């Protein structure tokens, strides 16, 4: 079990994390979400041991994870951390980067392991290419293979799919997260992409201004629309005024919760249509308030329609 207990951290006099606490069980995949600057990357670096805490403690299997004041070389051997800069050596090949920390004693075993990892990230064809000649997305895939080479107990990933083409990203995500589950590797993934979260994360941690504001089952965090900030990290959010749907307080809804009907007491005026492939995200106004809903058809700008809760 990974335990983060009441930790705080500051850069100089600027408090970045404040009284953050949570536990993660072995083999869980945790999504770490929040607006830019909320402390996600700093939290990953603290768990890895790159910084010293102001207060609190971080432990794995009842052993403290300590920072550079206590370790000549920061970072624990059983934890791997993939930063946004990838940390590849530019003048050696892809397969040399991936196998950098694997033992040379059993060369056949090492070669088999590197081949397996390159197949998983779909980089086999670039095995003998130097890292400096790769695109950003290709470097990111190699970096993912590299941090998995020694099968860490804990894997910390900071925006691990941010530069990868969409047509590769979906397969790669499935490959990586299935592998982590199979090997029971505990992982924390800091991300801005809700697709990294909804399909793969067992639990989601929500950060805001250096504080942990929510942690729970990912499906429940998504569905329990109690906090507009949290909901906005997943999708557009509508704040429905009082008494529109007999609600006694403002109601938060995602666009897919609304549909057009022939008549209701919720009349909106169309402003824009955004094509999404399988339909449209429609932007409308209710008074001065923006409202978003999904539709399979496009509406004319200035047209009025009536909305209700989708059954």
The pLDDT value given to residue 103: 87
Each residue's pLDDT tens digit, 51-68: 999 999 999 999 999 999
Tell me the two tokens of residue 135. 């695109």
In contact, 87 and 42? CB cutoff 8 Å: no
pLDDT at 74 over 80: no
pLDDT at 195 over 90: no
CB atoms < 10 A from the CB of 239, how many?
Answer: 14
The pLDDT value given to residue 76: 82
The pLDDT value given to residue 8: 97
Q: Which of 73-87, 179-193, 286-300 has the lowest mean pLDDT?
A: 73-87
CB atoms < 10 A from the CB of 257, how many?
Answer: 17
pLDDT at 13 over 90: no
Each residue's pLDDT tens digit, 241-272: 988 998 888 899 999 999 999 999 999 999 99
State the Cα angle at 234 between 228 and 238, rounded to 5°.
45
**97 φ/ψ sector (left φ>0, alpha ψ -120 to 50, else beta):** alpha
State the Cα angle at 254 between 252 and 255, rounded to 5°.
130
The Cα–Cα gap between 144 and 121 comes to 8
Residue of 285, 292, 288 lying closest to 235 (CA atoms): 292
Mean pLDDT of 274-282: 95
pLDDT at 128 over 90: yes
CB atoms < 10 A from the CB of 32, how many?
Answer: 25
CB atoms < 10 A from the CB of 177, how many?
Answer: 17
Instruction: Give the SS3 label for residue 198.
Output: helix
Q: How far is CA 267 from CA 60, 241, 289, 303, in A?
A: 55, 12, 12, 10
The pLDDT value given to residue 35: 94
Find the Cα–Cα–Cα–Cα dihedral 174, 176, 181, 182, rounded to 10°: 100
Q: With bands split at pLDDT 50, 70 and 90, how would you rate the model's confidence at 84? A: confident
Tell me the two tokens of residue 136. 């950003």
């Amino acid at each position: 079990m990974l335990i983060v207990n009441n930790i705080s951290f500051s850069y100089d006099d600027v408090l970045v994390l404040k009284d953050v606490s949570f536990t993660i069980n072995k083999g869980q995949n945790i999504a770490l979400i929040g607006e830019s600057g909320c402390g996600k990357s700093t939290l990953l670096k603290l768990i890895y041991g790159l910084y010293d805490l102001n207060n609190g403690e971080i432990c794995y299997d009842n052993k403290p994870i300590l920072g550079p004041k206590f370790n000549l070389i920061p970072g624990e051997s059983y934890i791997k951390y993939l930063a946004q800069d990838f940390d590849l050596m530019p003048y050696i090949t892809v397969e040399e980067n991936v196998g950098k920390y694997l033992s040379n004693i059993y060369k056949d075993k090492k070669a088999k392991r590197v081949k397996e990892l390159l197949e998983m990230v779909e980089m086999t064809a670039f095995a003998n290419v130097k890292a400096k000649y790769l695109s950003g997305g290709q470097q990111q895939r190699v970096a993912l293979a590299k941090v998995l080479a020694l099968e860490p107990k804990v894997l910390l990933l900071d925006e691990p799919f941010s530069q990868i083409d969409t047509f590769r990203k979906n397969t790669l995500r499935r490959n990586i997260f299935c592998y982590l589950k199979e090997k029971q590797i505990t992982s924390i993934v800091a991300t801005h992409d809700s697709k990294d979260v909804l399909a793969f994360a067992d639990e989601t941690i929500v950060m805001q201004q250096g504080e942990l504001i929510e942690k729970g089952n990912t499906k429940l965090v998504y569905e329990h629309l109690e906090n507009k900030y949290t909901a906005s990290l997943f999708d557009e959010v509508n704040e429905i005024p009082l008494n529109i749907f007999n609600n006694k307080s403002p109601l938060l809804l995602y666009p897919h919760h609304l549909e057009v009907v022939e008549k209701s007491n919720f009349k909106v005026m169309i402003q824009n249509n955004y094509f999404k492939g399988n339909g449209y995200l429609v932007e409308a106004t209710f008074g001065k308030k923006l409202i978003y809903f999904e539709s399979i058809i496009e509406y004319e700008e200035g047209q009025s329609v009536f909305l209700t809760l989708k059954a």
